[in-house]
């Protein structure tokens, strides 16, 4: 992997991690296009730049990391939302890995796109009961979002996509759905990164540190910018465009890799 490859992958990871379009699917296509083998070293690199993107949440939402009673209450609900995915992912990790294939990724892109279009079709954004502040999310809503996130274990579903859909269905605004998804990424990806580093420590030793550093910084910066732009986008537009994009991208994957 060259520095150019590291830059491209860093940009793609940072750009797609928080959008409901599945970073996994895009990394597959990018790696194929760049001629990068999906070996253990490449996967270790991808884990680290994915974690870099997640760390951008801390800088973007630093006000939520102040140790006050209100913030502790928020993070309690975020952790509760993480538990369903953490439990299922830990118990069935081997079976989940067997699900991975370009065909499954493509199909889940299409299925997820259809779901976004259907949900947006019936979504009523101006109802007074909608929650627009993540701190107002209650425990029941957080748990339902957590259960929705379990679908993200299927490759191509998108962690951001599944949590956003779950949040929309339990009464959050588009903006609050995206922001709760951002915060929920921290315990999820923190656990994934720690698990992969501890389990595959030897594979991380083989990663070129210069390439890793470049990819890490690029992923972090791009993710930071994309989060801000995504929230502004949702103030004026819907998720419909992401539903259409997912369907088109899924069809492309089936066509190219069939």
Taking only the tens place, the pLDDT of each residue in 46-67 is 888 888 988 899 999 999 988 8
73: pLDDT strictly greater than 80: yes
Distance CA 144, CA 86 (A): 14
> Predicted confidence band at 204 (pLDDT cuts at 50, 70, 90)?
low
Question: In the prediction, which pLDDT does 122 show?
Answer: 85
Kindly report the CA angle at 43 between 86 and 250, in degrees rounded to 5?
A: 80
> Predicted confidence band at 205 (pLDDT cuts at 50, 70, 90)?
low
Question: In the prediction, which pLDDT does 127 show?
Answer: 63
Question: In the prediction, which pLDDT does 32 show?
Answer: 77
Let me know: does 65 contact 58? Beta carbons within 8 Å.
yes
94: pLDDT strictly greater than 80: no
Question: In the prediction, which pLDDT does 142 show?
Answer: 95
Q: What is the pLDDT of residues 11-34, one digit of tens each?
A: 999 999 899 988 877 887 787 788
Instruction: Determine the structural domain holding residue 48 and report its residue range.
Output: 3-257
> Predicted confidence band at 117 (pLDDT cuts at 50, 70, 90)?
very high
Task: Flag whether the pTM goes above 0.85.
Answer: yes
Q: What is the pLDDT of residues 136-175, one digit of tens each?
A: 999 999 999 999 999 988 888 888 999 999 999 999 999 9
Let me know: does 101 contact 221? Beta carbons within 8 Å.
no
Structural tokens at position 216:
């890490």
Distance CA 10, CA 25 (A): 14
Considering the chain, what percentage of its residues have pLDDT values greater than 90? 47
Average pLDDT for residues 65-78, to the nearest whole number? 92
Instruction: Return the half-sphere exposure (C-beta side, CA atoms, 13 A cut-off) of residue 162.
Output: 25
Number of domains present in the structure of the chain: 1
Considering the chain, what percentage of its residues have pLDDT values greater than 70? 93
Find the helix or strand (DSSP H, E) in which 82 lies.
helix 69-91
Distance CA 5, CA 101 (A): 22
State the DSSP code for 123: -
Question: In the prediction, which pLDDT does 113 show?
Answer: 94
Question: In the prediction, which pLDDT does 206 show?
Answer: 60
Question: In the prediction, which pLDDT does 178 show?
Answer: 93
Average pLDDT for residues 107-124, to the nearest whole number? 91
Question: In the prediction, which pLDDT does 98 show?
Answer: 74
Average pLDDT for residues 29-44, to the nearest whole number? 75
Contact partners, residue 234, CB within 8 Å, separation at least 6: 174, 175, 178
């Amino acid at each position: 992997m060259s520095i150019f490859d590291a830059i491209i992958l860093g940009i793609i990871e940072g750009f797609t991690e928080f959008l409901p379009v599945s970073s996994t699917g895009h990394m597959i296509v990018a790696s194929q296009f760049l001629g990068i083998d999906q070996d253990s070293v490449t996967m270790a690199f991808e884990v680290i730049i994915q974690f870099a993107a997640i760390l951008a949440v801390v800088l973007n939402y630093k006000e939520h990391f102040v140790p006050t009673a209100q913030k502790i209450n928020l993070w309690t609900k975020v952790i509760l939302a993480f538990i369903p995915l953490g439990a299922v992912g830990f118990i069935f990790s081997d079976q989940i890995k067997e699900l991975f294939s370009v065909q499954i990724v493509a199909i889940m892109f299409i299925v997820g796109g259809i779901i976004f279009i259907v949900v947006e079709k019936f979504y009523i954004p101006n109802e007074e009961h909608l929650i627009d502040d993540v701190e107002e999310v209650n425990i029941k809503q957080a748990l339902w979002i957590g259960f929705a996130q379990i679908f993200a274990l299927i490759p191509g579903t998108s962690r951001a996509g599944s949590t956003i859909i779950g949040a929309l269905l339990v009464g959050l605004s588009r903006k609050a759905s995206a922001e709760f998804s951002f915060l929920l990424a921290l315990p999820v990806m923190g656990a994934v990164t720690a698990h992969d580093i501890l389990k595959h420590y030897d594979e991380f030793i083989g990663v070129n540190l210069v390439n890793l550093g470049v990819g890490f910084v690029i992923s972090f910066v791009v993710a930071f910018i994309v989060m801000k732009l995504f929230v502004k986008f949702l103030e004026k537009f819907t998720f419909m465009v992401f539903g259409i994009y997912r369907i088109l991208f899924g069809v492309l994957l089936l066509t190219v890799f069939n």
